[in-house]
Structure formats: structure tokens, C-alpha cells
A and B are shown apart, each in its own frame.
Chain A
Amino acid sequence: MILEIIEQIAILLFVPPLFIGIINKMKAWAAGRKGAPLFQFYFDLWKLLKKGEVYSRTATWIFTAGPIISLASIFCAGFILPLALSSSPLGFKGDIILFAYLLAFGHFFILLSALDTGSSFEGMGASRGAAFSAFSEPAFFLSLAILCIHAKSVTFKDVFHALPWATWGFAHPVYLVAALALFAVLLAENSRIPVDDPNTHLELTMIHEVMVLDHGGPDLAFILYGSSLKFFLQAVLLVHLLLPLPSTNWYFGIFYLFIGVFGVGILVALVESAVARIRLSRVPQFLIGASILAVLGLILSFYKGAP
């Protein structure tokens, strides 16, 4: 049990920045560039952690609490999701709901700390961030509902166990639909193209980046690491869905997790390289589209009758 918790913490602490590194490397290769080193994100975090802070005179304690609370709640959600093994330290019956709401709680505080400086840019970012996550919330729940209905459970452990490996693509195409909807949510929630561009340099077009404009030093390191962690967790969710291989062997599990997350990274990088960003006013349509996709999946699973 103790070992399991330590493993979970180790993965949560060290893998997410590598995941970002993989995506950036892949994107660079796709564009014909050499790209930044694979471990660049670790260097960035290290550099930020060594810095001091500059705070706005307008800001209250919420500005500094935002990064801490949001990172803590994402980390706490990380204890709920099974990573390399089929179970997790904090998993329980009904944990999917708590997982989603912990992520929302973290987001709530990031939004508030954005508004805390009184900057119009950050207000703009918070407004967009809040709106788009409001639209992605139903899509997320609907696509998870497909899995829940097949497993007859609202628990990650059962949901991942219920997937019949090797046959699901043919027997239950609904999983593919769920995976597609979840992938759309993954892109939107983690500010990737086509919703947001992590590399943009113009404040007016940013969403996530502009929310954290006034954060610096360790606070920014917390935020950046927290968002990479959230991205990683949602990618793991997708991995467990696409590669349903419940394992009790830790070495095998971690190998398979790496392969899977690497795959999702490549997928995200390919999408980012191939697709242009959509207009901001189109983002809700993109997310509502994902919801409708998930609804189709649900109808399909109801039509077939839950196995």
C-alpha cells in the first residue's frame, strides 16, 4: 500500500513535464525543426523555482493561493486516477465524480487569481477560460457516462476493467466515440490547438496563458506544473480507454502507461501540427460538437442494450 502510494506520487511528480516535452519535440519534428530538448520543461520549472516574486499592489492572498490550491486539487485528483496499476490510492466507488469536481475546484481558483490583479487581459482570459470549461464539462461527463453505463459503475477501477481488450473496437464502437469526445475535451481543457495555442505571443488571442500573465517565479512554476499534470491525467484517462490492459504488475503497467501516454502525445502533436486554430466564437461549437458525439455514443449504447 505504502509502495503503491510512493509509486503514484513519483509518477505524478516526474512524468507530466516529460509528456509536454514529447509533444513539443514531436511538433518541432513535424515542422522540420530540431526543437527544444526533451527535458526543457524541467529546466523551465527549475529556473522558475529559483526566482523571487513580484506581486501587484492590487492583489490579495487569493492571487498567491490560486496556484497552490489549484495544484493541490489537481494533485489530489491524481491520487484518484489509476495510473500504472488498475487501482489507485484514493479510489472509491463513485470516484469519477470527485475527480471531475476536484479539477473544477482547481480551475475555480486559477480563474479567481486571474481576476485578482484587476488587469483587463487577465479578466479576458478568465472569462474565456470559464466559458470554455463550462462547455467542456457536459462533454466530459457524457463521454464518461458511456463507459460508466457499460461497466454499470461510476468508479475508474471498474470502468477500466470492464473494457474487453482486443474486441472493443468492433463489438463496441461506442468506445471509439467516447474516446473521440474525450480527446476533444482534452484539447480544449488543456489549451491546445484548435482551441488555444500554447505558443501564441499576443495576449488578445490567448486563453490560458493570459490568465497567468502576472504570475511569476515559484507561483508560475506551480501553475505550469499543475497544468501539465492535469493534461497528463486526462491523457492517462484516454490511454486507459484506448488501451484497456488492466495489469497488476507494476513494471508492465508503467511500461504500458509510458507507451500509451507517448501515443497520446504524438496524437496531440499531430493535431497541433495539422490543424489551424479555430475562431474563438467557434470554440463552443467545437465543444458542443463533442457533447453531441458523446450523446450519439450513449444512444448507441442504449440501443445495443448495455452488455
Chain B
Amino acid sequence: MLYAILGSLMILCATPLAALFAGHRERMILGIGTFGNLFACVLGVSASLFALVSGEQIFLKIPWSLPIGKIAIGLDPLSSFFLVCIFLVSGLSALYGKGYFIHYQGKKWLLSPVFFFSFLVASMVGVVIARNGILFLAAWEIMSLSSFFLVTFENERKEVVKAGVLYLMASQAGVVFLFVLFTLLSRVSGSFDFNTFQMSSLKMPGLANTCFLLALVGFGTKAGFWPVHIWLPEAHPAAPSPVSAVMSGVMIKMGIYGLLRTLLFFGTPPSWWGGLIIGIGIVSGVLGVLHALTEHDLKRLLAYHSVENIGIIALGIGLGLLGQSLANPMIIFLGYSGALLHVLNHGLFKGLLFHGAGSVQHSTGTRNLDALGGLYRFMPMTGTSFLIGSAAICGLPPFNGFISEYLIYRGAFQGSFYFPTLWGLFALAIVPALALIGGLAVTCFVKAFGIIFLGNPRTEKTTHAHESNIFMVIPMIIGAVLCFVIGVFPIEMIYLTAPAADFFGGSFTAAEPAVNSLLMITYAAAVLFILIGLFYLLRRGLLRNRKVEKSETWSCGYPAYNPRMQYTAASFAEPVLAPFAPLIYSRIKHQKTPLGYFPEKAHYEKHLGDIASEKWLLPGIRRVVKILSQFRIIQQGRLQLYLLYIAATFAALLIWVLIKGGY
């Protein structure tokens, strides 16, 4: 099946080239691009699903003319699982892109998004199948660069360029750690091939710890672990929606993939790795959802939810690591299965939600929650899909988010029962953290869905909203249906994650009681639907032949009601944010209290921000830049000075050689 995946990789690379021939016929560019990408993704999904189910493990070495070894590619359950996610979400977004970019026809050259979209998908596939450090890093860099060009699609807008540059800097800063990581590993093992890493690194625990920390920072920057998540809330909103969907749905998961792949090099990990990742997961999860609550920009809100969901994935990985170090195959299975399934689930519902956000933005021209309202009446398909995505991301049954969280919960409880005290406490900490994250996520998505789609339009332009075109609606419906199907028939999904989880030393048979309980979730969902049906019929029966009127919303007898009196996103989130005030960087920018007996104007302006970026990282970076700028003295731009440097270096080297006396 590796050949079929290579085939879809070829199609992905050929698509932009074919689109080149369409010149400036934009409809044709978009058509070729969509068709090619979609075809490649459909082929890729089927091939990778087949490889996953058949448990294919293949390794291929192709000679390369470059001096750094051979092209080594391969396929194993872990790669196959991520390939399924990549092709699935990218395929849906490719289709959505056809409907989305068509609105830019005549305004922008559409070759750029088509071109880089194909390359983004192709490079992610490359990252996942690479079995050689150099190849991996090359694919990784292509991925970062192509996504940078996609983020800066609307480069006439200043904030988009700014976000793009921040993203580029963050990904380059992250990749530095990866360069060090792979160089270190290749030094020890003597080659850049992954399978030599695996054998050599066991010998030195110090090396393993260093590599783990390097991988954590390097891959964590891409994945969006707190506090190196700062590029996410900038880059995701700046990018066009189908791109945000791919970036948030699968591209950040390449960080997770990289971390998992690195972990495979080291055999049994020490327990503190698991503890550290659980800690990161809790902090990312809780702070991610808290900052999502502070946001009024729909896409920024969704971007912070990516931080939250990456946190949940980290909880699963941390649990799996603890299971590995304490030799508990059941917990390894539950932890990694939960994490991997959440990778897929998050790809599905986050893709769906970003598509929904794109539809809302396209239809109303704004992403500001407090300018929207009552959109459900104008866009019922988008609204229903968004609702299902919201329930799924909150981890509510009977949708897919619940399934992965259920597995992690089960693993965490098992850990707290059977781990030694300290690590048992770490496993136990996952339980209230997940509960709190879930509760806050419900608040956040009731806010997002309720303020956008329910109630009355808050501004004039919202009243002219309309449903999106069919290319945009279909991917959302497919995404919603998948979220639902996975939530109702979860046990089938375990057969997809099981081979990969077993790869880490998990045991499907040990976890069988927990896995079989997923069957009961199907029954419970059936009971739920029967009950919903019964109560619906009861209500209909009761209301037959009775008066059902339409009237105004009750406004306490106040006659001059207007839509601006509705609760806003800010007021909705206030009660839940108030106790968390120390965790959010908030400052009052402008305040003018009403004065006198007949007060007239008052003004109050409060800004909520991210402690990580605004208080720590950005000031820290500024300080570093300030220190480094002192070195400017030696770089004056005068040729004579540089010649002097060369001469001085030469002289110094000569003296050194003379003193050493080698010759």
C-alpha cells in the first residue's frame, strides 16, 4: 500500500504543475486543483485505511545522489493512522476550498492557494512516511513554508503579514531544536536513519533525556503546547478557512506525530517523561479553553481550542508513557488509543468548525461574535453542522469527542488504582482536569454557537446572511456525520487505533474489558434516541388540536426592545472567567466613570490577553533582542572593518598554530 500512497503523493505534486498550464483562467485552476487534491486524498484515505487494517509494515530504501545517505521511507501502523487523518481532513478541506476560494475570483491569483495546498498535504505525507532524519526535516521545512504562504494568502492586509511572520519565526525557532535533536542522534548512531537511532540510543540515559526535552520543545512548538502555542491564535485566524482547517486539524498533529516517533526511539521511558507531559497537557488544556473563553473572534476562539485539544492529546500520551515506564499494557493501550483517537476526532470536528467559521465569515463579512446573532435562520445547514461540531468538541455523548475522552478517563482511573502513589496522583490529576476542561468547553461553545446562530442579529449586515454554496456545505455535513458515526459506533474505531497503540507496547487483550464497554455506549446512544423519539411523539400528541402561537420574546414588559440588549459574548463568559482572573493577563485600558448628579458619558475598556505571549515570551524576546543588538557595534557595514576582522582572525589562527607547534 506504500506504493498507492506514493502514487497519491505523485498526484499531489502533479496537481499544481497541471494547474500552472491553466494560466490565469482561475475557475480552471481551482477546478484542476480541487479535483487533483480530492482524488489524491480519496486514494490516500483508502490506501492508508487498508494498510492500517492489514497492519502493513514496510520499509524502503532508494539511493539518492546527495551525500547524506539514502531516501528511507516506510509505513507502520503509527504512520498509517496519521495518514488516514491527513488525507481525510485535507480531502474535506480541498472540497471546501473549491467553494471558498471561488469568491476571490478576479481579486487574487488563485494558483497560489492551490499550489501551496497541494504541497502542504504532500509534505505532511512526507513527514509521516520519512524514515531518515534529513528527509524528515526536509519535508518538515516544506510543510512549514507552504503553510506560511497559505497563511499569508491575503497579504494585502497588514495583520495577516504580521501573523504570517510570527508563524514563520515560531516554526523556525522550533525546528532549530529538531536540527539539534537529529544531529545528536546521528552522532551517536552514525547515520540519519531512524532504525539506527532506535538501536543505539538505549545505551545512554542522559542522551535520551536530552533528546526527549529537545523533541518536546521542537515538536511542541508545532503542536501548540502551552507556552509555545503563541503562534496558533495569530496564524489560524489569518489563514483562509480551508487552510485553518488543515493546519489546526492535521498540521499541528505533525508535532504530535514527531513526538510519538521520537519516543519510539527510546524503548522504555523514565516515569518523569509521562509526568511532565501530563503536566503540560493539564496546563495547555485548561489555559487553552480559558483563553478561548476570552476571545470574541470566532477563529481565534477555535485556535485556542486547538491548544486545549492538544492538551487532551498530551494527557493521553503522558498516561501511555507512564504505563510504559510502569509496565502496564492496559494503560499504555488506553492512553495511546485515547490520544490517537483524539487526533482523528479533533481533526474531524475542528475541521468542521473552521469550515463553519469560514462560512459565517463569508456570509456576513465578520468573525466578531458580538456583531453576529440569529444566523441559524439564514444558514441552517452550516448551523446544524456547527452545532454537532460544538457538541463533539465539548466531549459530549453521543459524539466522537466523548469516545477519546472516555478512553483517557478509563486509563487515568486505572492508573490511579494501580500505579505507585506519586504516579498514581499524576494519573488521578487527569480526571478533574478533563472534567474542568469539559465544563469550560461547554460554556465556551454554548457561547460561540448561541451568540452566533441563536437569538436576533446584532448588526445590520448580519440580517443579509445567506447559506454557503454546495461545495462548502457538503464537507461540513460529511464531517458532522463522521463525528456522529464515530460517537455511536466507537468500538470499530478502536480497531484502527489498536495496531498503533500496540506498537508502543500496549495490549489490546489486556484492555479488552474497557474496550468492550464501548459497546454499551452504542446501546446507551440507542436508548437515548428512543427516548428522544418517545418524548417528541408525546409532545406532538399533547399539542395536537391545541393552540400553538407565535409571539415576541418576553422582555419584562419593556416595549422598546432591541437586539443590542441581548447578552454578548463578553458578558456571557464573565462569570466563569472571574475566578480565573490571575491566569489571564487583563488590563483596563481606558476608564471614565460617570460623574455628577446627571451622569452622561461613561467609558470602560478592558483587554484580556495571554500571559504566555504578552507577559513572558514577547517581553523576553524583546530583552534578548536588546542584548543581542549590542553586538551591532561590530557590524558597521564598512568594508575596511570586515577586512580587518579577516586579517585579525588569520593572524590569531597563525599564532595559535605556532604556539601549538604542530608543524
Which A residues have a C-beta under 8 Å from some C-beta of B? 49-60, 62, 64, 68-69, 71-73, 75-76, 79-80, 90, 92-95, 97-98, 100-102, 104-105, 107-108, 111-112, 115-121, 123-124, 126-128, 130-138, 140-142, 145, 148-149, 152, 154, 203, 213-214, 217-219, 222, 280-281, 284-285, 288, 291, 298, 302, 306
A118–B553 touching, CB < 8 Å:
yes
A52–B549 touching, CB < 8 Å:
yes
A105 to chain B, nearest CB (A): 4
A115–B455 touching, CB < 8 Å:
yes
Known contacts A76-B528, A90-B523: does B410 contact A154 (CB below 8 Å)? Answer: yes
Provide the bound-state CA to CA distance between A98 and B514, in Å.
Answer: 13
Known contacts A53-B543, A57-B551, A57-B552: does B454 contact A116 (CB below 8 Å)? Answer: yes
Asked if B60 CB lies within 8 Å of chain A CBs, one says no
Provide the bound-state CA to CA distance between A103 and B520, in Å.
Answer: 17
Q: A55: which B residues are within 8 A, CB to CB? A: 548-551
Q: Is the interface of A mostly helix, strand, loop or mixed?
A: helix
Asked if B513 CB lies within 8 Å of chain A CBs, one says yes
Q: A137: which B residues are within 8 A, CB to CB? A: 435-436, 438-439
Which B residues have a C-beta under 8 Å from some C-beta of A? 373-374, 376-377, 387, 391, 394-397, 402, 406, 409-410, 413, 416-418, 421, 424-425, 428, 431-436, 438-440, 442-443, 446-447, 449-451, 454-456, 513-514, 516-517, 520-521, 523-524, 527-528, 531-532, 534-536, 538-539, 542-543, 546-556, 563, 565-567, 571-576, 578-579
Provide the bound-state CA to CA distance between A92 and B418, in Å.
Answer: 21
B583 to chain A, nearest CB (A): 13
Q: Is the interface of B mostly helix, strand, loop or mixed?
A: helix
A130–B443 touching, CB < 8 Å:
yes
Which residue of chain B is the closest to A111 with respect to CB atoms? B446
Provide the bound-state CA to CA distance between A9 and B532, in Å.
Answer: 15
Provide the bound-state CA to CA distance between A117 and B574, in Å.
Answer: 21
Q: A111: which B residues are within 8 A, CB to CB? A: 442, 446, 450
If A52-B547, A101-B395, A131-B576 are given as contacts, then 14 extra A-B residue pairs at C-beta distance below 8 Å, sorted by A number, are A53-B546, A53-B547, A64-B539, A73-B531, A101-B402, A104-B394, A105-B391, A115-B454, A118-B563, A131-B575, A138-B433, A145-B428, A218-B538, A284-B579
Q: How many A-B residue pairs have CB under 8 A?
A: 248
A51–B546 touching, CB < 8 Å:
yes
| Complex partner residue of B450 from A59, A98, A115, CB under 8 angstroms | A115
B397–A58 touching, CB < 8 Å:
no
**16 A-B pairs with C-beta separation under 8 A:** A54-B548, A62-B387, A68-B536, A72-B528, A72-B532, A92-B517, A92-B520, A101-B397, A117-B455, A121-B556, A126-B567, A127-B567, A134-B443, A137-B435, A145-B432, A306-B417
Provide the bound-state CA to CA distance between A49 and B513, in Å.
Answer: 44
Provide the bound-state CA to CA distance between A80 and B528, in Å.
Answer: 12
A32 to chain B, nearest CB (A): 33
Residue among A59, A92, A95, A140 facing the most chain B CB atoms (10 A cut-off): A92
Q: A120: which B residues are within 8 A, CB to CB? A: 555, 565-567
Provide the bound-state CA to CA distance between A69 and B539, in Å.
Answer: 12
A57–B550 touching, CB < 8 Å:
yes
A44 to chain B, nearest CB (A): 15
Provide the bound-state CA to CA distance between A138 and B567, in Å.
Answer: 27
Q: A119: which B residues are within 8 A, CB to CB? A: 553-555, 566
Q: B547: which A residues are within 8 A, CB to CB? A: 52-53
